[in-house]
Chain A
């Protein structure tokens, strides 16, 4: 499968990709802690952006509540660990199952009753809000006061309980981003991927060509929710604390969708490129305002908002298609 994908990738893109990967693999040896932590964020946003892109970019389903699936993954795995002593690897399938089940509920409600476009987006926000309020009141997971993971648990080691240092999480995040990229590339060129594109472009015409639109859309939600959930597990064990008001916030959902939109909706490199552009810029902005002695917590978000407006007004297809042309990477050919 990977071989056919490689064959489909233009040589120029292959070389660039290999170079980038090499640089990232050796980066922790040279970069300081801060740069490493920023890169972890970049990989994480590239990863969850990829997950969201499956729904919006491939299948044309606007989800503005993706914090829901990420948050469920985070909370389920963290609660299993803290409360029952079940390690993250054993908790992972449960976390995925939880997100997929909720995704199925959202999808069933949305697609069974033909709730489309903006209405569907609102439905996803509403579900995320319900989760936020619900977890606020759920004592088992710490309620509004938050859920905290013990930083060191002795034995078990870094791998077994995901209790490693920054470099450990760096490679873990990089691996996640790579896996998501390969997986999405494979999906994009699979029969399911083509069906998604057909549904995105014109559901009625897709139906006439034998595509079961309900099933295709449902598959997109489930795949996206499962991927997002894994991102949540990483988040929980990386940050070690979870609060419903942050985890399920609309602002978090919007942060997730920024990278693929800026990078290029529906493209495979879009989420990665977007994360590489936005996250360092955001960090830079925070550093600058702090240096200037301003205590303005909203600066980064205002900048993100401006990015959204500029990108969607001037280049609604994102940065990647334009960059691709610059780099001399040809269109995919049949």
Chain B
């Protein structure tokens, strides 16, 4: 096997991993602040894919532009969901929260199935097959799909904006305060429930953006949803639940590992590799690579 192929596949995995990372970032932010595990995460990602797909087919809106309205829409959905359904659950046992979101997930994936059917939907972008050729000393050049590079770049930009939001804005700081010390945050007069709703909105906005990009990269089908949920969890646990940088690092790690597994073993076996990675991380470093150990 030519080294160029290996580099090419690794690079593909890395670029894809950044988009996965953005999706997982949403999960991580929600867990880090609201302490609720969004079991419907992959379902939201697929819903975003379909939303972007509909915008593309109906209005010829490019998925990379559709990203903005989809993210905005998902922010609203997330805010509303937290404010109505989930807020009453924040003091309930973990398994009850989990079951609530399992219910949401079931409804979403089967709702999509009822509306769009089980067949894969493909968004035909004019630049889907454009690529760059990079010369290498190994004889054959490395091919980089432009659309993947755009998606990865966009994912990095969104992540950067999110970092800045949490670090430099007043609201971002208030949300971090909630994550750090809930009682303290309530004592100083922060409206915790509103901040939770905002956070859930931001988390889903990440998923909305990532889902829109993914339409450009893969076909949409409802059946992707559970595997996306698992993928997001795997990434976040590997990187460290609640750590923003961890989600990106985990995404890249899983992206590259799965790409390598597709190349050397079989594409259908690729999630085995991420599960193996998950089990290894859980056993050796349960708080994740960049996570802090709970006191």
Contact = CB atoms under 8 A, between A and B. Distances in A.
A254 B234 CA distance: 19
Contacts of B102: 64, 254, 305, 308
B96 A302 contact: no
Given A117-B94, A250-B226, A312-B100, A302 B107 contact: yes
A312 B102 CA distance: 11
A122 interface: yes
B279 interface: yes
B164 interface: no
A123 interface: yes
The A contact surface, by secondary structure, is helix
A121 interface: yes
B99 A261 contact: yes
A115 B282 contact: yes
Contact of A299 (B99, B103, B114, B266): B114
Given A115-B282, A133-B268, A298 B100 contact: no
A259 to B, nearest CB: 13
A312 B114 contact: no
Contacts of B96: 312, 316
A165 B74 CA distance: 52
Interface string A115-129: 101110111011001
Interface in A103-150: 109, 113-115, 117-119, 121-123, 125-126, 129-130, 133-134, 136-137
Interface residues of B, number: 40
B286 A298 contact: no
A133 B283 contact: no
A137 B270 CA distance: 12
Interface in A308-334: 308-309, 312-313, 316
Given A119-B282, A133-B269, A302 B230 contact: no
A141 to B, nearest CB: 16
A109 B271 contact: no
A117 B237 CA distance: 13
A137 B271 CA distance: 13
Interface string A244-271: 0000001100100000010000000000
Contacts of B118: 297
A56 interface: yes
A151 interface: no
B88 to A, nearest CB: 7
14 contacts: A114-B286, A118-B98, A122-B233, A126-B234, A126-B275, A298-B112, A301-B106, A301-B107, A302-B110, A305-B103, A308-B100, A309-B100, A312-B103, A313-B85
Interface of A: 56, 62, 64, 109, 113-115, 117-119, 121-123, 125-126, 129-130, 133-134, 136-137, 250-251, 254, 261, 296-299, 301-302, 304-309, 312-313, 316
Interface of B: 37, 85, 88-89, 92, 94-96, 98-100, 102-107, 109-114, 118, 226, 230, 233-234, 237, 266, 268-269, 271-272, 275, 278-279, 282-283, 286
